[in-house]
Amino acid sequence: MSDGSPYRPDGQGFPPSPEGRTTSAVRPYVITGGRADAGAAPLSWESLVMAAETEVPATLQPEHRVILAHCQGLLSVAEVAAHLGQPPSVVQVLLADLRAWGLLVTRPPIPPAERADVSMLRKVLHGLESRL
């Protein structure tokens, strides 16, 4: 799945980080190093993510660190974004980094082939019916 470069303790696995930043706030894409897309296959808003059970490297950027702090259990990309108060498009980039470094595990959304799959829809139906 994640074919990105693994995290490297020397920090070379990281995107260029805006060094010497001292302002209290920066525009969102400064955080992502100007990258606006999360690579080939961005995580969809409903993808579930969770911090991997790996020690967090000391050199990790604060933005990535904050995300991991919010991901101590399963959460959707949209929830992570909402908790952070950042647009999902920004959070998708940071999550893709974390996944590439092996610091984040994901449970992808139901694959397209199964979406129209009747047995899956029945699961949703039964789930809803049990909520009545």
Partner 1 sequence: MASKAVSDAEAPGMAGAPGAPGGPRSPEPPGSRLPHGAEGAGTGGKYVAPTVAGAAKILVVGPLGVGKTTLIGTVSEIEPLSTEAVMTQAGARVDTGGERTKRTTTVALDFGRMTLGDELVLYLFGTPGQQRFLPAWRDLAKGALGALALIDTRDLAASFDALGNLEDLGLPFAIAANVFPGSPRYPEDELRLALDLLPDTPLVACDAREHRSSVEALIALVRHLIDTATVTTQSSEQPR
Residue 8 is a binding residue for partner 1 (CB under 8 A):
no
Q: Which residue, 80 or 100, is less far from partner 1 as judged by CB? A: 80
Q: Is 86 left (phi over 0), alpha (psi -120 to 50) or beta?
A: beta
Stretch that binds partner 1, among 6-14, 44-52, 55-63, 96-104 (CB under 8 A): 44-52
Member of 32, 38, 47, 94 binding partner 1 (CB under 8 A) = 47
At 129, give phi and psi (nearest 5°): -60, -35
Residues 82, 8, 23, CA angle at the centre, nearest 5°? 45
Residue 21 is a binding residue for partner 1 (CB under 8 A):
no
Stretch that binds partner 1, among 7-15, 16-24, 78-86, 94-102 (CB under 8 A): 78-86
Q: Any bridge partners for residue 91, and if so which?
A: none
In sequence order, the 6+-apart residues with CB closer than 8 A to the CB of 112 are: none
For partner 1, the binding residues (CB under 8 A) are 44-48, 69, 72-76, 78-79, 81-83, 87-89, 107-110, 112, 115-118, 120-132
